[in-house]
Structure 1
Amino acid sequence: MRCQDLSSVVHSWAQTRAALLRVLQEDEGQWAAIQEQPGTLAQDVCELLEEHTDRAPGISQEFGERMAYCCLGGLAEFLQSFQQRVERFHENPVVQELTAASYISRTISLVNYGPPLRTLAERLARVGPPESEPAREAAASALDRVTGLCHRVLADLLFQELQESQATWLDAVVPHLAEVLQLEDTPSIQVEVGVLVRDYPDIRQKHVAALLDIRGLRNAAARHEILAVARDLELSEGGALATPRDRAFFSDIPVSRPPFCLGLQLLLD
């Protein structure tokens, strides 16, 4: 690579790094705000980095690879800082001033930043040189930690709601809901949804979809496979036994939602 090209990479990245820091600071400033505003962190980060990586191959293949490598390293650094700030957010006493709905919505938004940023890291690793793998792993690790933390927070909030109920038979549903929120692989989630379908025939696709929204699962193929379990029940419910009224659970949860909605209200008597 020519010295002029290398200098261009360094200069471009210095500007981009400063822009990424501004994006993170601006978005973080809204996390604990009483007045909720939609976050655009993932979109902004992707646009900033893709602006460089899309143009660089036009100069030369080598320049494109080095730019991708540089951007991936910067993205990994950015995501590690993002992870630390998410951890601070959940430890911040200020979040106690938020309503439960707002806290849940902010946490879901943080989870939903993950998929596009993970996709970007994987694409940069493919375009970059072989030594890109450690940076890709660092980026993935930071996102995994954010996702795991937010899932635990959401599960805890859900279980607190299940407790504001006097029906002791609800204790049986809690472990299965926890698994749906925390498991990572699709087959295992399907198993837990299958248990819910078996034990609570009043469950519907919209309830399962809302649980997937809470955990931030937006992959269309994975959602389709998991929702198919509940869909099969709905198609065959003519022959299904009715759930005793004193054991109905999901039918008491109104879920009116567009696809990939970011909320689930639990209304328990």
Structure 2
Amino acid sequence: QLLRAHVDRAPQVTPEFGREMAHSLLGVLVAFLHSFQRKVERFLEAPGEVPPPDGAPGRAIALANCCPPFRAFAERLAQFGHPESEEPRRQAHAALDRVTRACGHVLTRRLFEDLKPYFGKLMKRKWLTSSDAFDAIVMLITGFAQTLRPLHPEPHQVLVSELHRRVLIEYVRPLLQGRLVCTSAKARARVAARLGDEARQLRELFTRLDSASPWLDSVVPRLRELLVLEDTAALQMEVGALARDFPDVRRRHVAALLDARGLRAQGPRREILGVLQDLGGSEAEPGPPRHRTFFSELPATRPVRCLPFHLPRLRLPRRSPARP
């Protein structure tokens, strides 16, 4: 409050004095925020300094709630219009973003430990006939959302959006790991139906939680289409749409999906995968900003093709024990 009062009075001396004072304070604020960020990260991550599990969420929420006032003050100082204020303003926001992410990591750590066994049951044979694992995932996320009520709206939105992204990454992961390989159109239809229903439930869940990342809602429907479409040209168009919505999708991801749908014919595969090459989606191409990454965090596991013959077993000569 005292600093705000001085900042507000400074332009009454001269506008130039007001700009210089605001710029100086912005530099001091940036130095403080860098120190604050480092101490928060050490406090939350160092095993010897982490509070007991029951107290960690409350402390992470309290630290995250410190960020909006600091962010607003940095914006206020930058608005005085000093020509060199943009860089310290950016640094202030970056430090606060890191604090918010660190707090979010602490808050979601236990949740993802609890979710892990249920994600491990997805995309398997039993998943097609039982919704138990997916229902447990939705229930755990819904319960977790209640613990976020004390969060300020700004970090709450950031955390929920990141939660949305990570949940969908874990949901899609088994599909790219070859857990299910469809051997018929009927099998593809069953998998697609389940994917469509669960995609709808996830969309509704994160809409209720006020996620600011609706761009994520299209990922599962896009992958579903790649399972059910039959025409090569239609599949090519869908791959193009997927690459447009998710610029970090790569050839290996689409190849894994073609494996999941049981498409082995090399001719159609080359035509479909060639779409990414035509669009410039090379493996080495830089991806989008972190908050818009998706497929870059998903390694695609290709099934190992066995050689069509048996290799002879090699017997190594037994070594005699070394003489003293």
- Give the TM-score category using the shorter length: 0.3 to 0.5
Bigger RCO of structures 1 and 2 (CA < 8 A, at least 6 apart): 1
Select the structure that is richer in helix: 1
